[in-house]
Amino acid sequence: LLTNVFYSKNSPVKYTGGSETINISTSDDMNVEKAVAKKSLPSVVGISTLSLQESMIPFEKDRQVMGTGSGVIIKEDGYILTNSHVVSDGKAQSIKVLFDDGESSEAELLWNDSILDLAIIKAHRTGLTPITLGDSDLVEVGDKAIAIGNPLGLELQSTLTSGYISGKNRNIKITGGIEMSGLLQTDASINPGNSGGALLNAKGELIGINTAKIQGTDGIGFAIPINTAKPIVDSVIKTGNYESIQLGLAAADIASFQAMTGQEVGVEKGVVITNIEPDSIAEQTGLETGDVITKLGKTPIDNMGNLKKELMKYTVGDETEITVYRAGKEKTMKIIFAKKR
């Protein structure tokens, strides 16, 4: 079937995927949501996993636990984008994908990053309908936001909720003390099971991957902007992997560092270096254990997620400046992203 969906604001936008034409009026929320659902539901999947949970009781065997979440088809031959925590941060023993047409398939993990909370899996199926990627840099507060996923498990697969973008560049702390940065905030309902699902604009374009909500509250959900994932998606599809610049250091967000050590660091935002690998970019630059990274280039660094996103902008051979807080003073150094000797 071939469907043409038209978004009627200024110039129409044409989507293919069925045998009818749908005209979307942006002043008619119901029509917008129906059209977005018709276009995008085939591109959102349910994900179930089996993982081993380590027993905290001596001599008791580890037990197998099942997890559920959502994912978004990004290529017709089985590539799916989801959250890292949906696949147990890479520790899932098995991954199964349930498609909108009721069919299912086993899948394998290709890449994941627990700090970015993103993962890419590949299902053993072709001829799928990939989602249309939007541009999250163009998103504004007040824009329409439509979430599709599987709240509370696969029994409620392909649930659609709608609302608006209520904030941008939000920083939140999630389980394990990891702080995520640069998130989109929405009042579209996001619940357990929605993780890894799609956050769409009024054109049915993917603008974010749903990742979290504030526990005990309604109307405060968060999504990872799709532009964060785009270079990862491109690299994994082309090469089977994604490798960002590695500074060769271990570090922690300030709050986590202070909680672990009880030490004050002198600044409120940044990343505390706890270890430096020999012959690494960090060592070659002159970074030291105890330094607090506060800026990369001209961008302030608030936490580990923020640092990882900034490093994604660079490739081997690039150079910029890095600013650290050391012994009560700021120090700026040139950093060259060279290969390890």
CA triplet 340, 91, 258: central angle to 5 degrees?
A: 65
What is the DSSP secondary structure assignment for residue 255, as one 8-state letter? H
What is the DSSP secondary structure assignment for residue 209, as one 8-state letter? E
Q: Three-class SS of residue 293?
A: strand
Beta bridge partners of 66: 50
Residue among 100, 117, 253, 291 flagged as catalytic: 117
Decide the pairing of beta strands 132-133 and 205-213: parallel
Share in percent of the chain as helix, strand, coil (round to 5): 20, 40, 40
Residue 193 and residue 149 in contact, taking contact as beta carbons nearer than 8 Å:
yes
195 is catalytic: yes
CA triplet 266, 268, 271: central angle to 5 degrees?
A: 90
Check residue 7 and give its pLDDT.
37
- The Cα 15–Cα 132 span in angstroms is 9
Residue among 48, 51, 84, 85 flagged as catalytic: 85
Residue 180 and residue 194 in contact, taking contact as beta carbons nearer than 8 Å:
no
pLDDT tens by residue, the chain, 341 residues: 333 333 334 444 444 444 445 454 555 555 899 999 999 999 999 999 999 877 777 777 777 889 999 999 999 999 999 999 999 999 999 999 999 999 999 999 999 998 899 999 999 999 999 999 999 999 999 999 999 998 666 666 788 999 999 999 898 877 666 778 889 999 998 877 789 999 999 999 999 999 976 665 667 899 999 999 999 999 999 999 998 888 999 999 898 899 889 999 999 999 999 999 999 999 999 999 999 999 999 999 998 888 988 999 898 899 999 999 999 999 999 999 986 55
Check residue 175 and give its pLDDT.
66
Q: What long-range pairs does 9-13 form, CB within 8 A, spacing at least 24?
A: 13/203
Residue 36 and residue 22 in contact, taking contact as beta carbons nearer than 8 Å:
no
Check residue 316 and give its pLDDT.
86
Residue among 43, 166, 189, 195 flagged as catalytic: 195
117 is catalytic: yes
Check residue 29 and give its pLDDT.
59
Decide the pairing of beta strands 44-53 and 79-82: unpaired
Six-digit token string for 264: 């004050």
Q: Which domains does the chain have, with CATH numbers?
A: 249-336 (2.30.42.10)
- The Cα 337–Cα 199 span in angstroms is 34
User: For residue 133, what is the enclosing H or E element?
Assistant: strand 132-133
Beta bridge partners of 32: none
- The Cα 185–Cα 108 span in angstroms is 30
DSSP 137-181: GG--TT-EEEEEE-TTSGGGTTEEEEEEEEEEEEEEE-TTSPEEE
